[in-house]
Chains A and B, each alone.
Chain A
Amino acid sequence: MSLNSNIPEGKLEEKWIKYKSTVPLVNPSNKRNLEVLIIGSGLAGASAAASLAELGYKVKCFCFQDSPRRAHSIAAQGGINAAKNYQNDGDSIYRLFYDTIKGGDYRAREANVYRLAEISPNIIDQCVAQGVPFAREYGGMLSNRSFGGTQVQRTFYAAGQTGQQLLLGAYSALQRQIGMGNVQMYNRHEMLEIVKIEGKARGIIARNLITGELERHFGHAVLICSGGYGNVFYLSTNAMGSNATAAWKAHKSGAYFGNPCFTQIHPTCIPVSGDHQSKLTLMSESLRNDGRIWVPKKSNDNRNPNEIPEEERDYYLERRYPAFGNLVPRDVASRAAKERCDAGFGVGSSKMAVYLDFKFNMMRYGRVEANKMGIENPSENEILKLGKDVIKEKYGNLFDMYMQITGENPYETPMRIYPAVHYTMGGLWVDYNLMTTVPGLYSLGEANFSDHGANRLGASALMQGLADGYFVIPYTIGAYLANEISVKPESTDHQAFVDAENSVKETIEKLLSINGTKSVDHYHKKLGKVMWDKCGMARNAKGLQEAIDEIKVIRNEFWQNLRVTGKANEFNPELEKAGRVADFLELGELMCIDALHRNESCGGHFREESQTNEGEALRNDQEFSYVAAWEYSQNNWKLHKEELKFENIKIAQRSYK
């Protein structure tokens, strides 16, 4: 099958406007007969479920947590971008579009990214209307801050809890539709298979996680909004339950997987403290607005950071990238931290950390406050105290979180941070309509590959999830469903449902019958280590080839020596984990295959073989200016390429110097 991205004709700025006014519509009485299944209740899933139900479709929504409000989106901290230009600092739709394409190192599709930038202002309006309490200035207007990879202030936020507030907004819209009977919500349910009839997605098999029962659900269309797969690395900033299973089952049912190796390693996370570590905690990128990153100039310097004088500190980001300084994009900042630590300049007991220091800006804010209050000749301590209050107001919850985890006080000593797996740009390949290569099967939010190329800019995932759910899918799904109005709901006794359910049952029985000696976590940790060492921040051909072989070995062992306690027909979290790790063990291999084939560096994908003399990522546009879309067949993969055409942006070597 050849890949068609279905990008509308016409000028970039007119594509979406024209599309919206010409897309076929479904009349209200027909909508009532069309059923849509939505897997996921995060920003993408909840906003889609609420919006489609408002339009009149019959919606069923699924999530594995005990409430849709607990989807992983809840944990997003820093903010959401929108091209509002409220700050009058030169922002525009074009500039957000440009920053996103450039930030993604020219590996995203122009038309999709432009649409995203175009929609972004509506998202803020919608959220404000729902009662999302964004941060405000004293004059009552919305407040903004900066994020990496941009030189304007376009990030809207609610302290360090932006994802929570946005998700609660979408959740309340969803609960409203649930209350009205327009959405049926299935909490504590896990989708485990796609049902296809005559080539089209027509339903799912889901497991009721409380009773263990397998359920069949019919839908005229199925939306995969199941989030990212960063947990393939075992340790990441994702929630413990975040997983790839829904996307992976979709992939194995025929949906191509786009750019699986594009992983984002976030520069500012709390470092690993020991073997017991179950997850890593992000310290939001917004902290880089006011925190300066440094290491000692002397290697192996064990002095207390407060005792290291200014001239003996290396503010390496400011040194290497004077134009963007501490606000370079994430991939650049992460690699720079790794470079310093590998060279022996790391700090803390593990030496795998750098400092994020707020003192300088605390003093700066403190002086401003002292001026405002008319305090003459304030002492250094007075200034510091006033400055601390400002920092507390901006990032208090993050500082508290840091203190809880490390037992150290970041108001007094600099934070210790190190990069960690955070986000996956790769995902199910979708066209302009957000449809995968399986008709009727869509993917939204982090689960799809679409808008961020090889590196996502901060505060753009929330924007994308909500754009997809509130403003894109309501239009694009009509293009498909307008031709489905005469399709009657298929009985779930159909052979396709029976077969799909049997295959799920078989897998579960197999997992429970191995009766080996090692736990699920044992294999997950092993996989994670291989992925981090060989398919992490720096990759090379030799390591990737080894990783592919090693993953196969781990997978074999898993299926021979796994121990899952408990039974199929009961609440059994070990069984849930086992199924997810089984899928990670396949996805991990594909990630390495993709990373091996892409013999260039771009964004978060750094191939050691392909770098400039200064150690920056070196793209190879001649050979790799495409999306790699992998087709699954019989435990093997076939590569398809979607050429990327840049008609509105001049493609250049990315520079933040």
Chain B
Amino acid sequence: MSGNMNLTLKVWRQKSNKDKGNFEEFKVNDISPDMSFLEMFDVLNEQLISKGNEPIAFDHDCREGICGMCSMFINGRPHGPKEGITTCQLHMRSFADGDTIIVEPWRANAFPVIKDLVVDRSAFDRIVSAGGFVSVNTGNAQDGNAIPISKNDADIAFAAAACIGCGACVAACKNASAMLFVSAKINQLAHLPQGQPERMQRARAMVHQMDKEGFGACTNTGACSAECPKEISLVNIAAMNCEFVKANVVDSHE
């Protein structure tokens, strides 16, 4: 079942990290409104391969909005025009026949381009390595119901933990700040009893690593949360700032 939408795409092409990169224009025809945005790219890539040209490289895996791998900057917005979804969840019914669509990679110093629309987000992993965990070795745990956790706290922790690490917050921010991502992890653990022993140290270490990776400062614009596919709340950033201040106060007393 093919459809009846004809579109023009302007896609960022960049051979590698060392290449300068430029936009290239393509036409795709007979697109069905039921296709996902990435399935439309599949069609385009098949078209390119059949002409012997190189397909466009883009990251994707689960195609259902949970792995955080897909990362297209579409018409000036990370993950495209609709709120609360990832690129892979965007469907062509959100566009109109005849549209021109501009597609770019995430742009941030801390996320260098690998090829075309694929960027390197390993900075996020290093931030987690710095402190985004509870130091508990396998086998050290007590019964799961030994410490009751109020439903409210569990729900808040869960809402923060829903972050998929996609990096759209960074791409949306004019300063390329990673505050939303970092604060979500800090806040998840700050709301759980298990997170308490390392609470201060965690905030310090993660923020320190974030700065080291070259992410920008937060100026409270809020674009991150507005573009976040998991609608991670700005409240996390405010709470994290509190954590961080507390941590530094404790630090100066130590």
Contacts and interface: CB of A to CB of B under 8 A. Distances in A.
Contact of B134 (A74, A131, A142, A407): A131
B16 to A, nearest CB: 7
Contacts of A176: 129, 133, 135
Which of B35, B143, B144, B150 counts the most A-chain CB atoms under 10 A from its CB? B144
Interface stretch (B187-195, B215-223, B237-245): B187-195
A175 B64 contact: no
B10 interface: no
Nearest to A187: B122
Which of A47, A140, A159 counts the most B-chain CB atoms under 10 A from its CB? A140
Q: Which 6 A-B pairs have the closest CB atoms?
A: A140-B148, A179-B129, A274-B1, A172-B133, A129-B141, A125-B141
A558 B112 CA distance: 36
Contact of A239 (B39, B42, B53, B62): B62
Interface string B179-211: 000000000110010110000000000000000
B63 A239 contact: yes
16 contacts: A74-B62, A125-B141, A126-B139, A128-B144, A129-B134, A135-B154, A140-B148, A239-B63, A240-B60, A274-B32, A275-B1, A281-B63, A281-B64, A404-B85, A521-B46, A565-B55
Nearest to A407: B93
B54 A565 contact: yes
> What's the interface size class on B, roughly?
35 or more
B115 interface: yes
Contacts of A128: 141, 144, 194
A238 to B, nearest CB: 9
Given A136-B149, A161-B66, A175-B129, A54 B137 contact: yes
> What's the interface size class on A, roughly?
35 or more
A67 B122 contact: yes
Given A124-B144, A470-B138, 19 more contacts: A51-B138, A66-B59, A66-B121, A67-B165, A84-B144, A122-B141, A131-B195, A133-B192, A134-B154, A140-B149, A141-B148, A165-B158, A176-B129, A179-B126, A179-B130, A278-B63, A407-B93, A570-B15, A570-B115
B32 A136 contact: no
B142 A125 contact: yes
A41 to B, nearest CB: 11
A320 B145 CA distance: 38
Given A135-B154, A141-B148, A142-B145, A172 B161 contact: no
B46 A519 contact: yes
A50 interface: yes
Given A137-B151, A187-B122, A239-B63, A175 B1 contact: no
Contacts of B121: 66-67
Which of A70, A84, A164, A187 counts the most B-chain CB atoms under 10 A from its CB? A70
Contacts of A161: 66, 162
Interface of B: 1-2, 15-16, 32, 34-36, 38-39, 42-43, 46, 48-50, 52-55, 57, 59-69, 84-85, 89, 91, 93, 114-115, 118, 120-122, 124-126, 128-130, 132-145, 148-151, 154-155, 157-158, 161-162, 164-165, 188-189, 192, 194-195
A133 B115 CA distance: 36
A74 B150 CA distance: 25
A566 B54 CA distance: 6
A129 B136 contact: yes
Contacts of B53: 565
B151 A140 contact: yes
Contacts of A51: 137-138
Given A173-B133, A175-B125, A176-B129, A133 B138 contact: no
A168 interface: yes
A165 B163 CA distance: 10
Interface string A274-309: 111111010000000000000000000000000000
Interface in A231-273: 239-241, 273
Nearest to B63: A279
Contacts of A127: 144
Which of B43, B132, B141 counts the most A-chain CB atoms under 10 A from its CB? B141
A69 interface: yes
A131 B144 contact: no
